[in-house]
Structure 1
């Protein structure tokens, strides 16, 4: 079985410019993204959930997600990381078992988030995941998403300090990176990057500086998040509405990728 190296995935976070991760949701989107030059593939949990008929927000059955990861791994040759939301359980041992199943498919990185939950519980999950990765002999890249900004968990003036407090705890538990969803202001990006040993990940967000500036601010990874499937849903709505409500079909024909181009990708 092919095994994209976990060490390669770690190395990709040490470049002069941030690692760009266009997040995929199924095997087809992953293969397409890789064909366009992505150095690694990460999933969007929202996109995966929607594609399987579930709401985002820890509703996705782990067994269906593991199967989806296996199907993605089958068609790509670059490292694969999966966004597992909160781990789909409050029990650290159960979360570690789920992550072990993902590692069995070839996954070399994960995102796991604190949401509105207890950071100390997340620390216990991280510790259990790290122990499982050691048992598996996989140097798993554990990227921890904190929702301090995305959920406005503390007043604005306290956000940087709160992120850094959580980052210290997550680092001690065994994390490699810190993903601050909603972080976009340059001075705050720099303060967080300078204040933690964890490698900083941000997401495409309104007001985010250009990629050329992010490197100088200390960002090591930039995620597309769920913006790709969200945008595609909007485009699909236009095409389907036009098909159902109008006589004119040219917009669908003009915007379609060639059948042969898609088919030969697999």
Structure 2
């Protein structure tokens, strides 16, 4: 059931005040490890995926590449998978709608769409941003199965607009049909509380940067329904590679390699039941 129609199971995880962790993976192996360790759902990460392709974050992955990557993660575990699909891979509302349709075909349980475009990384004007989500939501509702659309107000994170504008946009996105709203890295935890109190749909929070110091219980108290990791887990992995490589190449020190997980443990975690 979950593999063929992941939408209902994914939607049911969105419980305000009892958030699940959307575990952002970057390949089939990391997805299977996270599933074996107890993840309830998997997310892609646009940044982490770009890193695997040897590219920087921010509009460097094509829609076809993102869809193929998403399909790989869908095939890797029985868990629902949500795509982190940047601006929907186009400026026009129809681009967002087409991305939704193709994501349904790829087997994804949902996707997130941002309100900032590339390459300028500037927010779309308010009315245009709302129409993009309206078109994506219409495509999601017209799909042959359930599909969870998350609308992101990214302007606070990039310093392009303030929290009041983010609240305005999130409420408008919900009115336009978004199933979940998301303002990454607002100024303060109280802003997440405000968003959760105002939003008629579940709210996603990002556990990255200073928000990685916030325990799940505090997110639950705030009313959050979903906690995503973005590229944070991938960046932790890159930190291990970075530090071990510096020790090896600068000092001839291989001791960081003694901290790895045993092969047998990894093999067992990769053997996710079908």
Q: With structure 2 as the length reference, what TM-score do the two structures score?
A: 0.87
Q: 1:102-125: per-residue Cα shift (whole Å, max 9, x none)?
A: 211210111111132223223222
Kindly tell me: are residues 209 and 262 of structure 1, through their superposed partners in 2, closer, same or farther at Cα, counting changes over 3 Å? Answer: closer
Report the equivalent of 1:61.
Answer: 62
Report the equivalent of 2:134.
Answer: 127
Distance 1:138 1:228 in 2: 30
Select which of 245, 257, 262 maps to 1:258: 262
Distance 2:135 2:191 in 1: 31
Q: Which has the higher contact order (CA 8 A, sep 6+)?
A: 2
Distance 1:212 1:186 in 2: 13
Kindly tell me: are residues 163 and 245 of structure 1, through their superposed partners in 2, closer, same or farther at Cα, counting changes over 3 Å? Answer: closer
Of the structure 1 ranges 211-220 and 145-154, higher mean CA displacement relative to structure 2 is found in 145-154
Matched ranges for 1:1-266 at <5 A: 2-14=3-15, 16-115=17-116, 116-155=123-162, 159=163, 161-183=164-186, 185-204=188-207, 205-206=209-210, 209-252=214-257, 254-264=258-268, 265-266=270-271
Q: With structure 1 as the length reference, what TM-score do the two structures score?
A: 0.89
Q: Is 2:7–2:147's contact at 8 Å kept on the other side of the alignment?
A: yes
Distance 1:90 1:52 in 2: 24
Per-residue deviation, 1:101: 1.9
Q: 1:115-150: per-residue Cα shift (whole Å, max 9, x none)?
A: 322232232222222232233212211111112321
Distance 1:30 1:73 in 2: 9
Structure 1: gaps of 5 or more residues = none
Q: Is 2:16–2:220's contact at 8 Å kept on the other side of the alignment?
A: no
- Paired residues, number: 261
Q: CA RMSD in A?
A: 2.1
Structure 2: gaps of 5 or more residues = 117-122
Distance 1:220 1:79 in 2: 16
Q: Secondary structure at the match of 1:143?
A: strand
